[in-house]
Amino acid sequence: MSVQPSSRRPLWLPVLALAALAAAGLAAVGLSGCGGGAAARLERDRAVVARFVELKGADDARAADLLNPAPPVPAEPMSQEEFDRFVLDSMLHSDLHFKRLRPQPAGAPAAGSRPPRFVISTEGVFNSPRLQVRTGTEAKPQQRSLYNPDVVVEVVDGKLRCVAAGVPD
């Protein structure tokens, strides 16, 4: 009985080659921007926020290019929700000194597909204008003041949007 060498190639070699090609294809899709992924978005948005902090810290007017226009001061009474939104929209345009940024903590509330959020530490006092806020059938003056607030932002269409603000813990 004679033993002849096997003419069959090992099965693992073509499987390994196919797996390598599939991995290369997936990497190409991710790098081309079709997939992008959460990590790429996080880094891209972080860069926009970091640029804002840098420009604002240097009193560079180009910081405003990274924001939506400042909201106009309304002449008519507004709802509490409209007042809260006005305050948040005004904060990034204020004279606060924007100092440091960090990702919002992992334990913070999250919504599936919302943009990543960042916390910017500030120094200074923010004072909203005194505005008329509807409370039931009447309107009462209301103003918001915050000392050294932390401002929570996200990037939407390349512009910063303030989503929350408060005194640091």
d(CA 118, CA 154): 6
Which residue did the predictor score with more confidence, 162 or 14?
162
What are 134's strand-pairing partners?
139
16 has a pLDDT exceeding 70? no
Helix (H) or strand (E) holding 163: strand 159-166
| Token pair 């303030």: residue | 162
Q: Which two tokens stand for residue 86?
A: 């006005």
> Cα(133)–Cα(123) distance, rounded to whole angstroms?
28
Residue 167 and residue 148 in contact, taking contact as beta carbons nearer than 8 Å:
yes
pLDDT of residue 97: 96
pLDDT bucket at 8, cuts 50 / 70 / 90 = low
pLDDT value of position 38: 83
- Cβ-in-10-Å burial (0-12, 13-18, 19+) of 146 comes to buried
* Rounded Cα–Cα distance for residues 83 and 144 (Å): 9
Q: For 24-82, how does the pLDDT look when each residue is reduced to its tens digit (9 = 90+)?
A: 443 433 443 445 688 899 999 999 999 999 999 999 999 999 999 999 999 999 999 99
Segment 80-115, tens digit of pLDDT: 999 999 999 999 999 999 999 998 876 555 545 678
pLDDT attached to residue 83: 96
**Under DSSP, is residue 61 helix (H, G, I), strand (E, B) or coil?**
helix
The whole-number pLDDT of residue 113 equals 67
Which of 55, 53, 88 is CA-nearest to residue 71?
Answer: 88
Evaluate whether 114 touches 163 at the Cβ level (below 8 Å): no
Continuous segment of H or E residues that includes residue 55 = helix 37-57
Residues 106, 84: Cα–Cα separation, whole Å: 25
Query: For the segment 118-163, what is each residue's pLDDT rounded down to a tens digit?
Result: 999 999 999 999 999 998 889 999 999 999 999 999 999 999 999 9
